[in-house]
Chains A and B, each alone.
Chain A
Amino acid sequence: MNWIVFGLISWIFLGLELGLRDVLQLGPTPIAPSFMFVLVAFIAVSATPSASVWAAIVLGLLVDLTNATPYREAAGAITIVGPHALGYLLAAQLILAARAMMIRRHPISLAILTALGAAVAHIVVVFLLSMRLVLGEPIAVEASAQIGQRLLSSLYTGGLAALLSIVLFPLSGALGLHSVQARRFGRRD
């Protein structure tokens, strides 16, 4: 994978994630799609397993570092490193396992894998944030209330993935991702 092009696309997608999220929210609910996860899923669908998991970790870290989780009833917020990185990593592993059963370069395949992966990533994030709550960190996280909204966000992210596939599939070459046909008779990762 071409990591320089990956860095550039990640930067743009991080901008999309931070800048357009509220515009795409469903009414007054916090249900919104994740551009960053669409990129994670696209790379997991198209790239080698090792590149996919490291890309997932990098993108997850970027999301972790640009988020601040507020404290409950008190001023201040904390940057928690890890929940999204681990969530995206597990989601990438799921997509890597499932991609063999799908037609990879198809928008519907990408949408389904993205929705499934995003759901897994959200569950991991909620689990890890809840762990912090259990361990006594007073962060403002309501796992029970968020899980439904996060699962709906996953479906929304899947829909967005189908739309973005129009842009992402042509970028495969620039990203240095192997096509399925080329890999079929080539070296296995």
Chain B
Amino acid sequence: MSRSPSQPLHHPRLLLAAVLVLVLLAVVPGRWTAWAGWFGRPVAVLAAPPATLFRLLGSWLAPPKPPALRNDERALLEEHRKAAETQYLQLLEENDRLKAQIKVLQRGLELNPDLPVKQLTARVVATASDLASGLLRIRAGESQGVTAGSVVTADGLQLVGRVDSVAGPLAFVRPITHKASPEVTVRVMTGDFFQGTGAESLIALLKPQGDGSLKGEVGTDAGAALGGASAPRLEPKPGQTVRLADRTWPGAAQMLIVGTVTRVDPSPTQPLRKVITVEPTLRLDRVSEVVLRLTDESMPIIPAAPTGGAR
């Protein structure tokens, strides 16, 4: 009697064995199943062409909301202004950092020289298909110098997050708004340097809420100016720009835009303090292209150092 080619599929023992293996793989510790990631790479590479195609189609059918600007000229000027402001604030931040490094040098510690930032554009291939993941998959990998911890931005200066892991030609990015992302120290820019209202800022520690926003209490050191000058008591207000000032992040990420303040509430525990809600200037899970800011410094400015007044 001839055997049908599909007969092995009827074998209940084979199915039982497969189920047992899957149950085992599903619950054993990750250090014993790290090899599974290796199988994931070819599958991800294989799935990339249709995923990219459908993503482009999706972006065309339902384009992500563009930043609210009136016309091209205004948008260009606004972009230049933001870039210049960022450069200025980065210089001030750099100045503070160098002062701190001089102090470190004076104590006989080694100085890590700064190296220029290399920018690399990468297309977002896909978001995760499972709700538990929430990572962005981008088409940039080891060969381009992308490493875990590389800073990722979008739309110029909007901080997206950090590279979580690199798998061959692809990398996984964890957005700052991801529920499992660590808290970030930021500066709420209460003034606008180019409008003559100074560059005063407040320090806040923001925690991702999992709904695309970050929330946290503003520090008590209101009035602290970024350049070191004194300022009157400052208050956070909706619409103010929020920039990263977290020393656990690489230097290339400092003063990048985290978002804008959308809500200010009194703290439920300390009424004199304010709790701010910050939303990025664009939906981080809908970006189609990102820019990686690669530096040779893979370590943060001051590893694991406590920062900011709100901590």
**Is B44 interfacial (CB-CB < 8 Å)?**
yes
**Is B37 interfacial (CB-CB < 8 Å)?**
yes
| B25: contacting residue among A15, A54, A81, CB under 8 A | A81
- Please tell me if the beta carbons of B26 and A140 are within 8 angstroms of each other in the complex: no
A18–B207 alpha-carbon span in the complex (Å): 27
**Is A168 interfacial (CB-CB < 8 Å)?**
no
What class of interface size applies to chain B in its complex with A?
35 or more
Chain A residue numbers with a CB within 8 Å of B43 are 62, 65-66
**Is A116 interfacial (CB-CB < 8 Å)?**
no
Given contacts A70-B134, A72-B180, contact A80 B26 (CB under 8 A): yes
- Please tell me if the beta carbons of A68 and B6 are within 8 angstroms of each other in the complex: no
- Please tell me if the beta carbons of A68 and B29 are within 8 angstroms of each other in the complex: no
Given contacts A11-B46, A19-B51, A82-B23, contact A73 B182 (CB under 8 A): yes
User: B289: shortest Cβ distance to chain A, in Å?
Assistant: 14
- Please tell me if the beta carbons of B130 and A18 are within 8 angstroms of each other in the complex: no
Given contacts A75-B164, A78-B37, A79-B37, contact A19 B52 (CB under 8 A): yes
A86–B9 alpha-carbon span in the complex (Å): 17
User: B210: shortest Cβ distance to chain A, in Å?
Assistant: 7
A102–B164 alpha-carbon span in the complex (Å): 46
The number of chain A residues with a CB under 8 A from chain B is: 69
| A23: contacting residue among B58, B135, B211, CB under 8 A | B58
Q: B32-63: which residues lie under 8 A (CB-CB) from chain A?
A: 33-34, 36-37, 39-40, 43-44, 46-47, 49-59, 61-62
| B27: contacting residue among A25, A65, A128, CB under 8 A | A128
**Is B102 interfacial (CB-CB < 8 Å)?**
no
- Please tell me if the beta carbons of B54 and A77 are within 8 angstroms of each other in the complex: no
**Is A131 interfacial (CB-CB < 8 Å)?**
yes
